[in-house]
Amino acid sequence: MKTLGEIRAQLKHTLYRDRAEWTKQGYQPLCAICGEPPRNNRALEMHETFLTRGDVVGNKELKYDIMTRNNCVLVHSECHIYANSDYNKNACAFNILKYEKYSRVRKWLVCVNKRMHGTSASEAIKLIDQVYKEIQLEKEVTK
């Protein structure tokens, strides 16, 4: 079985590859918070958006389950500091839904919620429902 560190490294590599976009500096991922590419040759960091390692302390199974593209984004270290503010959490949720299907993210959160203590997963479900509605409204406006 892989260690948590190995799973995190593999997921970060996958996010770098699958969430890359064309920029002036080439094909690379953008920070989920500020939308800018990596700066000063420093790699983006991985951030757990909806459920953090602190939310699942003591639950070994969930500690591994939150390391998924349904929960994680890439951010600059200076953006990471403020990632848990409401505004930035919304930005991270938008980023996840930009690349992952809403139905898959929601289904994952519902499954995790059934196995979790606390309200973090149910709050995350409300957040992605809200963000998804905003995305749908934005699409309607731009038609």
Ramachandran region, residue 36 (left: φ > 0; alpha: ψ -120 to 50; beta: rest) = beta
pLDDT in tens, 59-105: 889 999 999 999 999 999 999 999 999 999 999 999 999 999 999 99
pLDDT in tens, 25-39: 899 999 999 999 999
For residues 100-128, give the mean pLDDT. Answer: 96
The pair of structure tokens assigned to 129 is 């429902």
